[in-house]
Every structure is written in C-alpha cells, then in structure tokens.
Chains A and B, each alone.
Chain A
Amino acid sequence: MKALLVGEYREGKLLESSYELVGFAKKLGIEFEFFLVGSKDQVPQVDGKLYLADAATAKEYNPALHKQLIVAAAEKAGAETVVFLHSSYGWDLAPRVALALNAAQFSEVVEANAEGYLLPACNAKLRRRVKATTGKTVVTLQVGAFMPAMGGAPQVEELSVTGSGDCEFIGYEQAEAGEVDLGKAEVIVSAGRGVGKPENVAMIQALAKALGGEYGASRPVVDAGWVPHDRQVGTTGQVVSPKLYVACGISGAIQHLAGMKKSEFILAINTDKDAPIGEVADVLVVADIKQFAPALTARLQG
C-alpha cells in the first residue's frame, strides 16, 4: 500500500500539523510520498518524494486546482490512499479528490490497522470501525490523533496547473483581538467558586496559558464579577466541547455540566470527591485548587 500525504500551507507557512500525516504513515508502516501547495523556500522535512506546486499560481486555497494537482500527484505516485488532515483544508478537499479517484472516503480517522479505520461517531461517544469496498481510499486524520514525525530533505518534483478554478479566494481575516470564542478552544481551564477570591482567577489564567488554552468560569464566578461574561461556560453561557476541559473548584451545577460535558477529556480538581462534577469527569483530583493549580502550572512550565 502506498499513500500520498497532503500537507497544509497557510499565510506563507507550512502548518506543523502536516507532520502528523507522516506520523500516521510511519505508525502504519506504509510507503508514502508527500504533496504540498507551498513554496520552494519552505520545503517540509520529509523523507522521499515531495510533489510541490507553487502557491503563487495555485493559490493557498483553490479547491478545483488543488484537486487537479493532487489527483495528478496520486497517479504519479501510484498511491492507493490519499491522506489529509481533518481540517478546514482537508475536509473541503478530500471529498473532491475521492470522487475524482472513485475512492472510498473516511473522515476524522483516529486509529487505523489492517482491518480498517476507526472513526468517531456521535460526538466521540461511539466509535465505528470501517473499511473500503473500493480499491482506492481517501482519509482525513483527526488533528492530534497521530504523533507528528519528521524526516530529512525530500526529493522535490514540481507540479504546475493552469486555469482559475470555480471559486475565488479573496484573502484572510484574523479574528478581532479580545473576542473570546470558547467554543473553538481546544483546551479550556475553568474557574469555579473553589478558587476562593477574585485574585485567584490569575492562577487559573496561568494554568490555561501553560496548557495552551483559554480560561473560562462557572456561573457564580461570572456572577460575582470575577470573570467577564463571555467566558462563562454552561447552558446560560457558552456550550463547549474542547479536547481537554479542566474544571477548577467547580462542584458541577447542572447548568454548568450541560455546558461542558461533551468535552473529550475532563479533568476536575475539587476538594469534595463526591461533587457532581465527578459524574462527567474522566479524572477527579481531590485537592485544593489554590495549591494544585500553581503546582501543575509550574510543572508544565518547568
């Protein structure tokens, strides 16, 4: 089996997550070649062949042109499988390539073996094991599901494409600063009444930063004015489902639980081991958040 890995390039930079594709191929022990619409000045560190198209002509986003390029590369590589990340780039492009190749497609793969692929269903509550009934497959990988892997310098083969495609990419827009959308955060560390006083919110912010996420709060903390309302997690605030949710000193009022229980992994820190948060948490650390949070932050930074 041979795979074509489709890397991602945005705002003039190779996206680091692209290396997860290599990690996937290596984990499965399959042969691969790499594809990227990018720039000669920033060649990804991968072993083997790299099919490289110039983003100056093919644009960073142009699904019709990128599809043509990928199909051409897949044919050149003799790939039976084309692998994307399950991202705004990957899920947009993968079905187009799959259709062009008459391939079966699997989305958001979290694991693979000889039998087939493992896909999440129903908000990761369930998992499906699936396999293709066709010769070729296109898969998108859940971001973060596979460890990234790098290689040496690739052997570059340049590809080019003509035409304009059916939709026009106008440009990028960065979100306005100060606007918090917890719904999109991958890690959320939330403060509950257990933090004790407003000054202690800072230790929650520090932990959130150390984990590369956003900080949030339960309703009483927001009500008390310790944390702005746009950071409230719960049915009356934002309903969130990050990869990691850390509930700090939150006992777990129903309104709060309903707003965060869909998180993939929930770590709760509470002095009461019978607190309702334990119903939804994966791990409940019985400790005073005022001691635990600074210790964990220090360990993460150290």
Chain B
Amino acid sequence: MELTRELYWNVGHSVLIPMYLLVAAAFGVMIWGVRKRLTSYRLGQPLQRTDRRAERLSGVLRDVFLQARVMRVKGAGSAHGIFFFGFVLLTIGTTLVFIQADLLDPLFGVRFLTGNFYLFFSIVLDLAGLAAIAMLLGLAVRRYLLRPKDLPNVGDNALMLVLLLAILLTGFLLEGARMAATELGTDLSWWSPVGLLFAQPFAGMAEASQRALHTGLWWFHFALVLGFFCAIPFTRLRHLLLTPTNIFFRDLGPVGKLRTIDLENEDAESFGAAKLADLTWKDIFDGDACTYCKRCQDRCPAWNTDKPLSPMKLVNQIQELSFSNPDASLIETVTTDVLWSCTTCRACQEICPAAIEHVPKIIDMRRHLVLMEGEFPGEEVTKAMESTEINGNPLGMAPAARADWAEGLDVADLAAGETAEILYFVGCYATFDKRNQKIARAFIQLCSAAGVKVGILGKEEKCCGEPMRKLGNEYLYQMLAAENIELIKGTGVQKIVSACPHCFNTLAKDYVDLGLELPVEHANSFLAELLGSGKLKLKPAALDCTYHDSCYLGRHNNLYNAPRELLQAAGASLKEMQKSRDESFCCSAGGGRILAEENIGERMNQARARMAAETGAATLVSSCPFCMSMFEDGIKGADLDEQLKPRDLLEILAERIA
C-alpha cells in the first residue's frame, strides 16, 4: 500500500473555489479590522522605530518562533510556548497540504507527502495537536479553576480557548472520520495515534454515514478556522499580529535611555504627555499589544507594596482611551498617585513578553505635571528641586563643601587643573551623606591600592540630574547636565567612573544626547578589571552575605556578574535572595523617589530588607548609595538591625586590600 493519503478525500476538489473565496473573505475581514485599529495608533506622535531592521527581525524570530520572552516564566509561559509550537506545526502541516494539493500536484504532478516523509508528517502533526490540546486544557484550568490573584479576565479569554480547542478537536474528529473509512486496520493508522483514537466512534458506521459526518465536520472545522482569522483583530487573538510587530518596533536601547526633549523648541506649546495624542504611536501601539499576562504587575515593587501603580493597568488605560475616548485627560485617567509611585526599576519592561515600554510613558506624564503644571509628589520634592537649582544638590548642602569627604585622600581636583587617569563622578549622596561617604573613600583607597590616580570635579561637581529627570524635571536635568558636561570636557579626562549606578547610567547613556561622549564605567566593572589584571590584590576574608542588585546596575546595565566576582574574590559566601539578578526588587529610591516621602502602602525598603533577612545572611551588600540610604532606614524600620547590616561592596573590598 502506498504510504500517503488522498488529499481532499470525500470533500473533493470542487470545494476549492468556494474555499479560497471564503478564505479571501476572512482575510478581508481581518485586514479591515486591523486597518481600523491603525487610526488609533496614528493618533500618536512620530517616533523612528524602523532602523536596524536585521536586528529587529532577528529579535522577532527569537522571541516569536523560539518563544524566548514568553518561556522565561515557567508554568503558563511554558504552556504558551508548547501550545505555540504545536499550533505552528499544525499550520506548517496545513501549508504543506496546500502546497502539494493546490500547487505542485495540479501544476507539476509533484507529490511529496508520501512514503516515510508522510509517516513522519502524520505522527508529528498528531502529537503536535495533542500537545496543543493538552496545553489549552491546562491553561483553561489555570484561568478558571486555579486563577492566580489579580489575573484579569474577560469574555475574550473564553472565546479564544473554546475556538482554539474546537478547531483542534474538529480537526481530530475529521481525521478520525476519514481514517474510519480509509485507514482503519492498516499499519498506516498507527502513524496517526490520536486520529486512530478519534476514529473509534466512527468505526462501526456505514461508509455513507462516515462520509456524511466527514463532510459536515470538514465544513464546520473550516468555518471555525475562518472565524479564527476574522476574530484576530477583534479579540485578544490580535496579539498574534501585534506581539511580533511590537517586538520588531522594540526599543533597541541603550537600555533605559530616555527621550531628550528639545527645550529650545519655540513652537512647542506643551511638554510631556497630558493627553493621548502627546504620546508616541508606539506608546499607543503598546497599549493594544498588551496581553494582560500581568507579569509586569507581579514584579512591580510599587504594586507589591500596596501602591496604586500597576504597569499593566496603566498600559490598559492607554489602550482603552485610544479606542474609546482619545480626547480625555490621560493624566486624570491614570491619576497622579499612580504616576508618582513608579521607581523606574524596569522590572515591568524587562519581563514583558510583548516588549511594551512602560517607564517612558510614566516619565512623559510626569514631565507634563512638572514642566507644565509645576506639580510634584509632595512639597519635600519641590524643596529638593529648588535646593538643586540653588546649591547643585537636592540635599541643600553648601556647594563649597562638596570635596570635604576627600580630605586627606590622594585625589586630584580636575576642576582646579590637576590631572588624573580617571574622573570619579562622586554623586550627591556619596558626597554629603556621612554614611555614604565611606563608599567614596573606599573607592579612592581601592584605586590607590591598584595604582590608579583618581581625579574629581571637587566643589564644581553638580548633581547629575538623574532623580530630577526621572521625576519629570527635564529642564533642571538639562541645566545640570550641561554644566557638568562643560566642566568634564574642560578637564580633558578620557574616562569616567562612578560608584553610583544612577550617576553612571545617566552619564553613560543620557548625557550622550547633550554632548558627552566619553566612556563611563561603574566602579564594579572597573574594579573587576583591575582585579582581573592583577593590579588590585585582595586578601579574602569570610563574609556571610546576600547581594542586592541595584536596578540601575542590573536591569539597566546587565552588571550582574562583576559584583559577584568581586564578592567571591573578597572571600564572601553569597546567599542569593529569591528575587535577585533581573528579578531584583527595588529598594524604593529609583525614579527620583529618593527625594520623596513614601506615604502610600507598605515601605518598599522594609519589604526588601525582609527579603534579605530571609536568606539568613548577616550582611546585605549593595552597590549603590541610594540603596544604602534606603536599607539603613529599611532595616531599622523592619526591626532587623540586630541581625542584618547594610554594607556597600566597595567598603567590603577596601577592608580586604592585600
């Protein structure tokens, strides 16, 4: 017997014309639906996202066809991935049928679905279908029986599940009816095990009945598939199109770099985003691309400490406005409490399977509040802004005292014309906060031990502007940045190092738009290099610790290994927290929140201190003056000061200089 099957068995080739007409109609409906959505995306401002196409495309292939982003989360993510692979195999199978039956065979008489390849084809598709059904059932159980807290649910979800399940089941029934009439009892049937199972109900029937049922099932299955195509733009099935598209249009970095506003633009009547049309088309597209998986919400430190911000809900609100009420006030819809709650920690963006950019939207709305309304989360923030304008630091300390911490250390004052190998950009907290000054001093000790001559800007250094920028005060940020850049350029220095992740990220990425193009490194990677090259020598001594990944070192700059290598070299034994590396939980100081009172919900720094204490380690190591300030307070606030001490990595290293 020939190892193949008759394509269009029973239904015959006469269905071809109506079939293709109907398919065309369904695609027509789909395209019409998609085009209708385009009008909403077009409400947004222009944004260039079609450069570096090869890179964009390869990302799409990786994240769609390998399901890389989705499968990062076990459970539902894996189920989605497996279902996807099954569904894709079935689609490939159907496409092969189409190629042979409607193209190669009628035109050239070529048939390839024969022999061993046909056997392989049969069993793969059968198992793919089975896996897809199993995953769908599993996902349905999760959604309806074991629903995770705060998982949003709408009618769409049921429709999608039922439709997909019906397509798969009718497909198998169809196969079963055909096999009952043609394959039952042959060896061939064993290569379609699931079909064989579905053939059993049809087995005893007369062939006429089998054929009649098959015809009915064929049309029903076909109708469901048509329905599937038609439903794409009108249900959450649209993510089939929007997710790959959004991944194509994703932000290619540098990670976390904000759009620089042209403040000199005389035609600009408004700055920041107050209404939907102030956002970019990509922001609106993001809204439509959300799949409501709530991974962002699960990881949001604000949401997890009872603040009103859910990155998912914010994106959903943008979507709702864009399709229902685009002229409404975006900020009133989202609410200012939500906007001010964000620490820009990027946990949401990092995990989003649809490459949605949450943080820039929040910053854009904050920009409107600050630049157009003069509004801040609290008076303490307004004061910090004013202090920064006057004194160049948000703490209101005398600029003349800015180099006091370095007294007695071998540091060159670059602003005064002295020279050095590197410029150490100290930052306000390491400069003025007694606790954090130890970090600055430790850095100098380490560099001196490694024979690196360090220079500072002395009392001329200004706040890098990061907290101001993240709070929306682009004007103040640009003023500070311009002053720092002019000063840095004047020193002729060729490399900048900062031990503050906020200064580091800002100088390395954001200052580029304003004319600074020097290499900027964080102290961790700089010291790891010195250690690697043997210039820095440490004598290890035991330390029982856990390590907190600062948001602006980890997620923003992928610096996860350098601090761990340094800790290892220092002789520390590291107990990782459950939320570590790219899942790290913010200390609460990011996004300019260091300047603001945290008066909604639980204290984020205390929550993080408790996570650190859970490891049983006696020392909480971090690499950021902001984190240090937060943990000093948070550990005391959570009543953990007996068992846990916050230390900066640099302090630990400086104690172990060989």
A residues with CB within 8 A of B: 193, 219-220, 223-224, 229, 235-237, 252-255, 258, 276, 279
Contacts and interface: CB of A to CB of B under 8 A. Distances in A.
B432 A254 contact: yes
A291 to B, nearest CB: 20
Nearest to B598: A223
Interface string B356-397: 000000000000000000000010100110000000000111
A253 B597 CA distance: 15
Given A235-B395, A258-B396, A220 B633 contact: yes
Contacts of B597: 236
Contacts of A235: 380, 383-384, 395-396
Contact of B637 (A224, A229, A255): A224
Given A254-B432, A254-B433, A258-B395, A220 B637 contact: yes
B636 A220 contact: yes
19 contacts: A193-B636, A220-B633, A223-B603, A224-B637, A229-B599, A235-B384, A235-B395, A236-B380, A236-B596, A236-B597, A253-B632, A254-B395, A254-B432, A254-B433, A254-B434, A255-B395, A258-B396, A258-B397, A279-B434
A253 B631 CA distance: 12
Contacts of B434: 252, 254, 276, 279
A254 B433 CA distance: 5
Decide if the interface of chain B is mainly helix, strand, loop or mixed: helix
A61 B331 CA distance: 49
A254 B633 CA distance: 11
Contacts of A253: 433, 435, 629, 632-633
A255 B393 CA distance: 13
A276 B404 CA distance: 14
A68 to B, nearest CB: 43
A223 B637 contact: yes
A229 B606 CA distance: 18
A253 B625 CA distance: 13
A236 B383 CA distance: 9
A224 B433 CA distance: 22
A223 B380 CA distance: 16
A147 to B, nearest CB: 35
Interface string B585-604: 00000000000110100010
Instruction: Give me the 4 closest cross-chain CB pairs, A-B, nearest first.
Output: A276-B434, A254-B433, A236-B380, A236-B597
B512 to A, nearest CB: 30
Nearest to A224: B637
A167 B413 CA distance: 59
B646 to A, nearest CB: 12
Of the four ranges (under 10, 10 to 19, 20 to 34, 35 or more), the interface on chain B belongs to 20 to 34
A274 to B, nearest CB: 9
Contacts of A276: 434-435
B592 to A, nearest CB: 13
Contacts of A258: 395-397
A235 B603 CA distance: 18
Contacts of B603: 223
A64 B384 CA distance: 42
Interface string B623-658: 000000100110011000100000000000000000
Contacts of A223: 603, 606, 633, 637
A228 to B, nearest CB: 12
Nearest to A193: B636
Interface in B217-240: none
A255 B383 CA distance: 12
A278 to B, nearest CB: 9
**Interface-central residue, B380, B384, B434, B596, by most chain A CB under 10 Å:** B434
B523 to A, nearest CB: 21
A51 B469 CA distance: 63
Nearest to A229: B599
A219 B633 contact: yes
Nearest to A234: B380
A258 B397 CA distance: 8
A126 B606 CA distance: 42
Contacts of B637: 220, 223-224
Interface in B5-45: none
Interface in B471-518: none
B384 to A, nearest CB: 7
**Interface-central residue, A229, A258, A276, by most chain B CB under 10 Å:** A258
Nearest to B396: A258
A164 B636 CA distance: 61
A219 B603 CA distance: 12
Contacts of B636: 193, 220
Nearest to B605: A223
Nearest to B635: A220
Contacts of B384: 235
**Interface-central residue, A237, A254, A258, A276, by most chain B CB under 10 Å:** A254
Contacts of A229: 599
**Interface-central residue, B429, B606, B637, by most chain A CB under 10 Å:** B637
B237 to A, nearest CB: 47
Nearest to A252: B434
A236 B378 CA distance: 9
A220 B632 CA distance: 9
Nearest to A197: B639
Nearest to A257: B434
Nearest to B428: A254
A251 to B, nearest CB: 9
Contacts of B606: 223
A59 B629 CA distance: 55
Interface string B422-435: 00000001001111
A219 B605 CA distance: 13
A258 B599 CA distance: 20
Contacts of A236: 378, 380, 596-597
A2 B608 CA distance: 69
Contacts of B599: 229
A132 B502 CA distance: 55
A235 B378 CA distance: 11
Nearest to B632: A253
Nearest to B378: A236
B569 to A, nearest CB: 29
Interface in B390-429: 395-397, 429
A237 B383 CA distance: 11
A239 to B, nearest CB: 8
Nearest to A274: B434
Given A253-B633, A258-B396, 19 more contacts: A219-B633, A220-B633, A223-B606, A223-B633, A235-B383, A235-B384, A235-B395, A236-B378, A236-B380, A252-B434, A253-B433, A253-B629, A253-B632, A254-B429, A254-B433, A254-B629, A258-B395, A276-B434, A276-B435
